[in-house]
Amino acid sequence: MLREKLIPAERLERVIATIAEELDADLEGRDAVFICVLKGAVHFFSSLTLKLHHPIVTDFIQLHSYGATTESSGTVTLVKDITVDIAGKDVYVVEDIVDTGLTLLDILALLRARHPRTVQVVALLSKPARRRVEVPVDFLGVEIEDRFVVGFGLDFAERFRNLPEIWEFAPDEEAR
Ligand code: IMP
């Protein structure tokens, strides 16, 4: 069940506008490719990239993530690869949330093997208490506690992605 609204739509909008400003300053003189990590980052990616004033290239990548559970499996498989050549480019990986960091670690290894000039990470949310591996988060929206959240792209068993705000979700009560 949806337990508590953690981040209302208006706050998300402000947070994303701030990240877009930071990115615009960083994008000066760069040849940028923004990579959306499907499916969770799709609303964040869309809102963020529409706010940028610099011309950028966009692409999409999808990895296998959680099933109908709130725990990471720890193993990540590539479902959909990017289609642009990132060699020599400035890559920005756009993630919905960094939890254990395992997904991001795999994405970074995969992308770095293709010789981009730089790789940076942009994440809407981060749960530092859950981190199992050290990963860089260069641009961050909101740091949250160890709670399972849904909405604004984030799901539980593919549901709730279309909620315009971020909610805490309690899977146990749902199962009863
Ligand atoms: P990590 O590999 O554990 O860092 O998990 C990364 C992915 O797990 C994210 O991109 C999300 O798709 C998913 N995830 C992690 N925490 C949550 C959450 O609280 N709600 C929904 N999905 C989550």
pLDDT digits (tens, 9 = 90+) for 19-30: 999 999 999 999
pLDDT at 171: 77
For residue 156, which atom of ligand 1 is closest to its CA? 21
Give bridge partners of residue 150 from the DSSP assignment.
167
In tens, the pLDDT along 40-87 reads 999 999 999 999 999 999 999 999 865 556 666 556 789 999 999 999
Domains of the chain: 7-146 (3.40.50.2020)
- Which of 45, 63, 97, 105 should be mutated for ligand 1, with most atoms under 8 A from CB? 97
Q: What is the C-alpha separation between 132 and 153, in angstroms, rounded?
A: 23
99 is catalytic: yes
Q: What is the C-alpha separation between 141 and 156, in angstroms, rounded?
A: 21
User: What pTM value is reported for the model?
Assistant: 0.94
pLDDT at 144: 98
Is any atom of ligand 1 closer than 6 Å to the C-beta of 149?
yes
In tens, the pLDDT along 107-154 reads 999 999 999 999 999 999 999 999 999 999 999 999 999 999 999 999
Phi, psi values for residue 113, rounded to 5°: -65, -15
Which amino acid would we find at residue 155?
A: D
Which helix (H) or strand (E) segment holds residue 23: the answer is helix 9-26
- Which single residue is written with the structure tokens 């400003």? 21
Is any atom of ligand 1 closer than 6 Å to the C-beta of 6?
no
For residue 155, which atom of ligand 1 is closest to its CA? 21
Q: What angle do CA 15, 154, 136 make, to 5 degrees?
A: 60
